[in-house]
Chains A and B, each alone.
Chain A
Amino acid sequence: MADIISQWLSYPAPYDRILSMIGVEFHWAILQYVLGLSFMAFLAELIYLKTKEKKWLRVAKTLAKGFVIVFAVGAATGTASEFGLVILWPNLTEAAGRYIYFPLYAEIFAFLLEIVFIYMMWFAWNKLSPKAHIVVTFLAFLGAWYSAAMIVSVNSYMVAPTGIYAAYDPYNGWKYDQGYPKVALYVPNDVVQILNVTTLQKLGMEIAGKTDDSVIVLMPSRIVQRLAYESWLNYKVKDSILTAVVKPEYAGNKELLETPVKAIVDTILVNTIRHVGVYTVTFQSPVYFSSILHVLGSAMTVASFTAMAGFGLRLLRAREGEYKEYVKAGFKFAAVIALVIIAIQGLVFGHMQSIDIAYNNPEKFAAMEGTSSSITSISRIVGTEGLMRILAYGDPNAELPNYDKIPDDYCQCLVAPNKAVPTCKPPLIIHYLYYTKIGLGILLGLDALLVIFYIWRGFSIPSWVLKSNILAPFVAHLVSFLGWAVREIGRKPWTIYGVMTVDVAHTMNPPTVGTVVLVIIFFLALGAGLLYAVWRFIWKPGGE
């Protein structure tokens, strides 16, 4: 275990990665309630409009109060995450702002939609007619989901950028010898003119087509990442690997040699984004669709299991009467949603996500499945490798990618290796995180099934079931966190897979370890404060 932890820490900027992980996870832990409870409150309000039963209005208000209280800190931690990205990963931020800015830009409107309608829904509840109010509640949850759709598209682009061609074929194995993984680029004709195409083809570049103003090429990632490295370290052409691929007649051109590499890379990337779609490029990431479904599913899981636990505890002490009817309605409502969503999340959304990763980021998939002889692989012990072949590739004869056969230097430009990156292989720790996540997810499914069974049997739920359910939200949070951990940790050493490594994205002035520790303590104290506020203002006054 110590080996795999030290492998994870060996990639560049370990402390800042941990700081980012805590900051973003804190934000995400809260956001799940904004995404999940807002939708559940909307459904409860719809039921109230249809049935006119007051207990449903009360359920809707309880759920709404839950996400309104945490939304404030969610918004603040969103701002913190945004600034955290700027000050810890400024080169990534600059690249995102330059080339894939649109979802971040459009997210502002989502944020405004959330702010206006979430607070209108809560603070003006009695100033709107019931029908007008449900429209406002709909807009409140729509704002939250729209926001998630934008941000997840950027993250999906980092997981598998649009135009990535992975290095694995389930029947023929790794394709590193052919220069994969590769990235599709639209190189403007002006730039093509100065490049020695034959040399580039020998290095693995393929010509995939032409347009009026560009040549479409599949460029090996090891070249793309080197150019990203040189761009953000302010190299000029004279010091760049580009000198090896310019035509001889340009080799002595002083103006060209003094040109910043970033200017040439920028010309190519701007042209590529224009051709692919300025406003759609991130949404075309091959993992986007499954990612957004999986993210929303995760939020619904956490929200529904939390609501089920809360109403369940109330049920323990509720006496017969109007109050108990309300609590029972809330409990049943949350339990049904919990069971439905955990089933869809595991069997459909999670499955779709795994297939996308298997095809588009096979190195990470190899680490997730633990196909290395250097670790004790859970899938090998349990004997699910055959099942995984079918699940991932739909064929028992397909081969899972072998982690041990990934070259340590597949992401390196061999003539100018990046010494900050110790290995190109992803960290094996994600194998254990992934299988822990799956195990706990199954446990959650069984818990929801058990609760529904007792509800179906006439609501005679043993008190131990209700009491033990208090653990369910924590488990749901852990499952969700582990999912993100696999996604983010498993991408190392890349920040944008196939394009930019962690060291390039990182700030040139990182904080000291002491500062990182102080910030972490501050966030933990804030989290404790928020938990107290939820207990004091939602749980305590909510009694009979």
Chain B
Amino acid sequence: MDVPITFVALAFGLHIAMVNLGIALATLVPYFKWRAEKLGNNGLLKAARSLMKFYAATYALAGVFGTAFTVFLLSFYPKFIGLAGHLTFVPFGLAILFIALHFLTITTYWYGWNHLSRQTHLAVGILMAISSYIIPLGFRAVFAFLNTPIGLKLDPSGKPYLDVLEALSNPTLLPLYLKSIVGALTVGFLVMAGAFSYKYFHSSEEERRAAEELVRFSTLGAIITLIAMVLLGTWYGFSLMIVEYKFNNIFGAFGWTVGDGVIHQNYGWLFAFKITLVALQFIIVLYIYGKLRGGSFINLGQAKLLMSAGTLSLIVLISGELLNEYSQYPYFVADLTDPKIASALPEPVKQLLVDALVIKPNVLATGSELIMLTLGFLGALLVAAAFFIYLILLAKPKIEEEY
């Protein structure tokens, strides 16, 4: 087992799951609040506020796992980070600036609830949503570059640099980015539908009405975004045909190959697993939607089924990300194996890229004590994080709020 890459994958998986929930919440909370105010729906307003409280309390967990991901990369694969730093000022810079803006808007939106005018608060909410969409644009541009290094240029002195406009024309970027955003909304809809269907059975009458409305809205939203996901996933799959190594590793097991047709690492099983779970989600939400269209609300058993669809969506999300990263293992840039690309590079740039882009861990960061330390700390802190989420979502107050 490649321990460093497992730590990187674990941090990334947790990060991506929470970030996706964040994108959904950053979009839906301002919408729900706006709708609640327009309709005078107090239950929906309360629900929006409780969702925002959850987001304000937990968004930073997504950030910390993102930081963990980059620090693990830095510690285990320092050459890769060094090279990325030389080339990626614009995409990383874009993401950084909007992370800072997004965090400020979360704070302002949460603490500004009932303190800012409706219009100002809505404007902050829209800014919160927009910034949540721009952050992944920067990161996905880097991921598309890791598929195939379009935009990598050499200046007359032989120095490598990134032609940003050309990098943006990477055919894997747009489907990957759109798939990420729609995927985030899918996860958000399904988790929300599951959570509010559970809440429906543990709430007062007013809260029940809001929960029912949210479940209906989220279930329909999930159907639409799941259909979009299938289309965008197909588009992304086709776009990967130019990245032979990766395409064959994912789809080769099904007889779909390009180029030399060689499967270097078979990840068809992970793709099949993911698609099966997507199909299951489809079946569940279509079944629930059918029940809801009948007029009455679902029963507790059906609510549990909806909750399981929420859990499945998170598993699909993480497995999809792992599929995207692992299928190019052991290369940071999947296309580096393509002789057409590698042979076009002069020395010493070629050697520099090969050294930096082959996954080979730092010899100073492979001690067993480091692994034990990481497992110990991460384990304890994840338990603490779970307890924290329990306190936020489920625990009853022990003392009265005074100030």
Contact = CB atoms under 8 A, between A and B. Distances in A.
A339 to B, nearest CB: 27
B49 to A, nearest CB: 13
Nearest to A269: B364
In the A-B complex, the 9 residue pairs with the smallest Cβ-Cβ separation, listed nearest first, are A90-B85, A94-B82, A97-B78, A76-B103, A537-B111, A97-B74, A124-B391, A101-B75, A109-B377
A421 B71 CA distance: 31
A112 B381 contact: yes
Nearest to B53: A123
A84 interface: yes
Given A57-B403, A76-B102, A507-B86, 19 more contacts: A62-B403, A76-B103, A80-B100, A87-B93, A89-B85, A93-B82, A96-B78, A97-B78, A101-B364, A104-B74, A104-B75, A115-B61, A124-B388, A126-B398, A126-B399, A129-B399, A515-B93, A529-B108, A536-B111
- Which bracket fits the contact residues of A? 35 or more
A91 interface: yes
B108 A533 contact: yes
B104 A91 contact: no
Interface in A468-520: 507-509, 511, 515, 519
Contact of A73 (B61, B103, B116): B103
A541 B67 CA distance: 34
Contacts of A515: 89, 93
A533 B104 contact: yes
A77 interface: yes
16 contacts: A57-B402, A58-B402, A77-B100, A79-B66, A86-B74, A88-B85, A93-B85, A97-B74, A111-B64, A111-B67, A115-B63, A116-B61, A123-B392, A511-B93, A533-B107, A537-B115
Contacts of B387: 120
A62 B402 CA distance: 12
Given A76-B99, A79-B63, A90-B81, A104 B71 contact: yes
Contacts of A101: 74-75, 78, 362, 364-365
A117 interface: yes
Interface residues of B, number: 79
A533 to B, nearest CB: 5
A50 to B, nearest CB: 18
Nearest to A525: B101
Contacts of A62: 403
A414 B151 CA distance: 39
Interface in B90-128: 92-93, 95-97, 99-104, 106-108, 111-112, 115-116
Contacts of B365: 101, 105
B89 A509 contact: yes
A76 B71 contact: no
Interface in B380-403: 381, 384-385, 387-388, 391-392, 395-403
Interface string B245-276: 00000000000000000000000000000000
